[in-house]
Amino acid sequence: MSDSPFGSEITAASILEDLEFFDDWEDRYRYIIDLGKKLPPMPDALKTDANFVHGCQSQVWIHADYQADSNTLNFLVDSDAHIVRGLAAMVMAAFNRQSPQAALDFDVDAYFAQTQLIQHLSPTRGNGLKSMVKKIRQAATLALG
């Protein structure tokens, strides 16, 4: 999981900066889909019911790995839909390689408000995004003990 660029080279701040360059939503969607292509592959063995994200329109899996020595959460994520993989990549940029407390403290609503993304997603995609964040925060809570 350490080979993921998300949370190190690709961050929430860098995504917000990149999105400012696009004038229309078609270009922004293309950018988001391209982000999804940069996600490291998730082995099929991790696509379990325990890692399945309920509440998403598409199939989504998130696997959390807490590294106590560095106090960081590392995630693998996958989806069967290109745009959802891109949305998951945006989530990974904010949460991957963060401490459990930082994951709980991150203002994801402000992040997505800055992207203006929520108003351009269907309600079911928006709910799926919230379900991904909920699963990540559950992993963070568990890591904190």
Q: Report the catalytic residues.
A: 56
Please return the burial class of 128, using the count of CB atoms within 10 Å of its CB with bins 0-12, 13-18 and 19+: buried
Residue 85 CA to residue 39 CA, distance in Å, equals 8
Give, for 75, the enclosing helix (H) or strand (E): strand 72-79
